[in-house]
Amino acid sequence: MSSDKKMVTLAELRAHNTKDSLYILIHGKVYDCTKFLDEHPGGDEVILAENGQDATEAFEDVGHSDEARELLPGMLVGEFEQTSELKLKSGAAAAQASRISAAAAEQGSKCVFFLPPSLSAIGYLLYHTDCLSFPCSIMYWAPIGMLVGWFAYRYYTTGAPY
Ligand code: HEM
């Protein structure tokens, strides 16, 4: 139930900013890691440096193991009461964006792979210059390009485009 969740304010988070009492904010939750400071394999300074701010990015950048994550619930103080003063960093959103672009790149390379080299090159250029939002739209542009080419060729050789 959300009503019995303890909410931690920014003032509270900032009040616990020393070795004697240290709160850390990770993924919107506040943890009391005072007792853990001496045991932390990464040393106490790195955690102390994150006092009073959102430590999510620092925590995720290290690539902490599942074992490290399992220690967190034991230190939980409560949910962070978000204020406009301290915007939470959304590591999840960034990860999602990179997953989407990786998937799009994979799909693009599959499309381009089955096309003749010249069209692959055009498709590659269009895709990588962001001319098209969807990589497979080359299937739409290629026939148009060929049609325009055909009329240009006819006009050049006969003086009449049809
Ligand atoms: C209360 C939150 C934290 C917990 C429970 C925690 C736990 C751990 C654990 C168990 C390890 C050993 C490796 C692993 O299992 O992943 C570790 C390593 C490490 N942690 Fe944390 N950590 C916390 C917060 C942080 C923060 C905020 C930083 C800031 C940068 C940090 C930096 C590091 C570094 C640099 C290592 C690597 C140490 C090495 O391999 O020499 N940790 N942490």
Report the predicted TM-score, pTM, of the whole model to 2 decimal places: 0.62
Q: Where are the domains of the chain?
A: 2-80, 101-158
Count CA within 13 A, CB hemisphere, residue 15: 5
Q: Calculate mean pLDDT across residues 27-33.
A: 96
Ordered alpha helix ranges (H), 114-137: 117-128
CB 112 within 8 A of CB 123: yes
Complex ipTM more than 0.90, yes or no:
yes
SS3 144: helix
Atom of ligand 1 nearest to the CA of 31: 1
Q: What is the pLDDT of residues 60-102, one digit of tens each?
A: 999 999 999 999 999 999 999 987 677 666 554 555 455 555 6
Class of domain 2-80: alpha beta
Kindly tell me if the per-residue pLDDT of 111 is higher than 50: no
CA of 50, closest atom in ligand 1 = 27
Which pair of structure tokens corresponds to residue 7?
């909410």
Give yes or no for residue 33 CB within 6 A of ligand 1: yes
pLDDT at 71 (0 to 100):
97
For residues 109 and 123, what is the distance between their CA atoms, to the nearest angstrom? Answer: 10
Measuring from atom 39 of ligand 1, which residue has the nearest CA? 42
What whole-number percentage of the chain has pLDDT above 90?
A: 46
Enter the tokens of residue 27. 């993924």
Q: Determine which residue's CA is closest to atom 9 belonging to ligand 1.
A: 68
Return the bridge partners of 23, or none: 32
